[in-house]
Amino acid sequence: MARLCVERVSVHLPVLGSRGHSFKHRLLSSATGGRIGRESGVTVIEALNDVSFDLRDGDRLGVSGHNGAGKTTLLRVLAGAYPPTAGRRIASGRVTSLIDPTLGIEPEATGYENILLRGTIMGLGRTKVRSMREEIAEFSGLGEFMAMPVRTYSSGMLMRLAFAITTSVPADILLMDEWLSVGDAQFRTQAESRMRTLVSGSGILVLASHSPDLIRRECSRSIALERGSVAADAPVVPATRATST
């Protein structure tokens, strides 16, 4: 059974070398959306404040809010990338994060080598990753480039590889920052089909988005973040699903 829970989670990020009450700070507060505070004489951005929810199998949570409201910080806490300053995160099941699919890609390694590296980071055994290698390579459509260092790839090729690797394993808990769409028209069709399969097969979905229509289409519950705090938490009235965004 998948479960994803945050209990009174706060994340405060230190701002080094700054003065607490300057005009620069007021400007920073307005730009980031986060509250500014002082802890032990150090200025901090209060990116999340006292956020709580508990998700179980079948839950689909949409997270909305303006830029700087705390959406990406929350996703990173849920992924285990950011430790909370206060509170705790509880996760049961395989977490797949599509916040930044290229994270952890090694430029000097080949495409094939990166499949092994990323697969290991995702918690898969080397034997399992090797058994998936050719299917991932074929899906990426990169052909002979799979044997070349990733530093020789274009940005589009890099995204193809990262997407093919990250979406190759079913997710118990799926974290998304907007709906991921990559590549040219032909590859986008493949990617959309795989995304739909990955989403429908996941136990829990957390989708951060600026699009109310996307959240209505994909989610059953929505929270709105405002300056790091939950401003609203309510069920979603579902919209008719479409095959693409």
User: Quick one: what percent of the chain has pLDDT higher than 90?
Assistant: 69
pLDDT, residue 28, reads 47
- Please say if the pLDDT value at position 245 is more than 80: no
Query: How far apart are the C-alpha atoms of 180 and 195, rounded to whole Å?
Result: 8
pLDDT, residue 30, reads 46
pLDDT, residue 180, reads 80
- Please say if the pLDDT value at position 142 is more than 80: yes
pLDDT, residue 154, reads 94
**In this structure, are residues 32 and 70 in contact, taking their beta carbons and an 8 Å threshold?**
no
User: Does 163 reside within a domain?
Assistant: no
User: Does 126 reside within a domain?
Assistant: no
pTM, full prediction: 0.84
pLDDT, residue 33, reads 53
Helix axis angle, 111-121 to 155-166, nearest 10°: 40
What is the mean pLDDT of the segment spanning 141-168? Answer: 95
User: Does 116 reside within a domain?
Assistant: no
Ramachandran quadrant class, 150 (left: phi over 0; alpha: psi -120 to 50; beta: rest):
alpha
User: Does 13 reside within a domain?
Assistant: yes
Residue 167: which of 180, 151, 152 has the closest Cα? 180
User: Does 23 reside within a domain?
Assistant: yes
pLDDT, residue 197, reads 94
**In this structure, are residues 159 and 101 in contact, taking their beta carbons and an 8 Å threshold?**
yes
User: Does 89 reside within a domain?
Assistant: yes
For 217-238, how does the pLDDT look when each residue is reduced to its tens digit (9 = 90+)? Answer: 999 999 999 999 999 999 998 6
- Please say if the pLDDT value at position 98 is more than 70: yes
Instruction: Give the range of the structural domain holding residue 82, as residue numbers without chain letter.
Output: 3-98+205-235
Higher per-residue pLDDT: 25 or 215: 215
What is the mean pLDDT of the segment spanning 75-104? Answer: 93
- For 156-189, b/e burial (b = at least 16 CB within 10 A) is ebbbbbbbbbbbbbebbbbbbbebbebbeeebee
> What CATH number is associated with residue 231?
3.40.50.300
User: Does 146 reside within a domain?
Assistant: no
User: Does 136 reside within a domain?
Assistant: no
pLDDT, residue 14, reads 83
What is the mean pLDDT of the segment spanning 88-117? Answer: 93
For 12-67, how does the pLDDT look when each residue is reduced to its tens digit (9 = 90+)? Answer: 988 766 554 454 454 444 444 556 666 556 788 889 999 999 999 999 999 999 99
pLDDT, residue 27, reads 44
Task: State how many domains the chain has.
Answer: 1
pLDDT mean across residues, the chain: 88
Residues in the chain: 245
pLDDT, residue 207, reads 97
Query: How far apart are the C-alpha atoms of 64 and 59, rounded to whole Å?
Result: 16
pLDDT, residue 147, reads 97
